[in-house]
């Protein structure tokens, strides 16, 4: 494979444009310069997406977006080249530092929406892999990216949806799009879905 000076940025760029993960090397350290470039690229992507977002989209959070990009990148690295000790894993896949609000969830989703597929791939290789519980734990926190994926939804707190109209709209859209019956069990979500369906529940989602 041809070499590139910015493997992280290129991987994220391909992920966002052609929705494929391409890894260029085994290096997991990312330069400060590359991080800045990636953050501004993700911000442009975010600006494009919010045109389609309902209501007023929350402000872009570069920290969260970058954290998500790095998590997806590291997860993909761990899937292909496993040369690390188990004790190092938590360093490669740190938890998100900071308070999680609508802006953080939506900004992180720009990359994090691809994580469930990587986890499925990891499970296919080795269902006992210790990376899986770490990543799934991330997804429980960033549950907007996990809709439709099999995770424990009992620990999910839906209160965050009521606080932000845009996130609520996006969340419900994704539940309907992926027909995530499990996520539609909560009373709050059920009520909101019914408001959206009006008389046409049978047209939009007859199985619910």
Partner 1 sequence: MYFLEIKKQHKDFLGSIRHWQNLKTAFEGDAIWVKDFLAEQINSPEIQQIPYKKVYELKENLLFEQGNLLPSKKLPSGLLWTPILRALPVSLPKFNHNFFGIDEKLEIRIKASEEIKEAHALLVDYDELKRYIETAPKYRLEPLQWVVLDKSALILGNPLLPIKGNTYWLEHDFLLPTGYNFEWFALAKKLQEELNLSKQNIILWNIDNSYSVIPKTTIKQLSISSFRLTFS
Binding residues for partner 1, rule: CB under 8 A, are 51-55, 165, 169, 172-173, 176-177, 196, 198-200, 203-204
Smaller CB distance to partner 1: residue 179 or 182?
179
Least distance between partner 1 and beta carbon 194 (Å) = 11
Least distance between partner 1 and beta carbon 174 (Å) = 9
Smaller CB distance to partner 1: residue 62 or 196?
196
Smaller CB distance to partner 1: residue 22 or 176?
176
Least distance between partner 1 and beta carbon 204 (Å) = 5
CA distances in angstroms from 105 to 27, 30, 133, 164, 203, listed in the order given: 27, 23, 20, 11, 30
Query: What is the DSSP code string of 4-38?
Result: -S-HHHHHHHHHHHT-------S-----HHHHHHH
Least distance between partner 1 and beta carbon 115 (Å) = 22
Smaller CB distance to partner 1: residue 82 or 201?
201
Smaller CB distance to partner 1: residue 35 or 49?
49
Least distance between partner 1 and beta carbon 168 (Å) = 9
């Amino acid at each position: 494979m041809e070499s590139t000076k910015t493997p992280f940025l290129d991987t994220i760029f391909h992920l966002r444009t052609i929705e494929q993960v391409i890894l260029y090397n085994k290096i997991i350290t990312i330069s400060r310069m590359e991080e800045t470039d990636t953050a501004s690229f993700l911000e442009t992507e975010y600006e494009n997406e919010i045109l389609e977002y309902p209501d007023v989209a929350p402000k872009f959070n570069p920290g969260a977006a970058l954290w998500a990009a790095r998590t997806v990148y590291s997860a993909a690295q761990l899937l292909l080249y496993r040369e690390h000790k188990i004790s190092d894993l938590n360093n490669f896949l740190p938890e998100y530092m900071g308070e999680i609000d609508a802006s953080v969830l939506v900004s992180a989703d720009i990359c994090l929406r691809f994580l469930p597929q990587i986890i499925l791939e990891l499970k296919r290789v080795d269902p006992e892999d210790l990376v899986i519980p770490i990543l799934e734990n991330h997804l429980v926190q960033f549950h907007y990216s996990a809709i439709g994926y099999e995770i424990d939804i009992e620990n999910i707190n839906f209160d965050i949806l009521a606080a932000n109209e845009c996130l609520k709209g996006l969340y419900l859209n994704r539940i309907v799009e992926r027909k995530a019956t499990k996520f539609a069990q909560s009373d709050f979500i059920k009520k909101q879905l019914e408001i959206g369906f009006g008389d046409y529940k049978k047209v939009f989602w007859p199985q619910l």
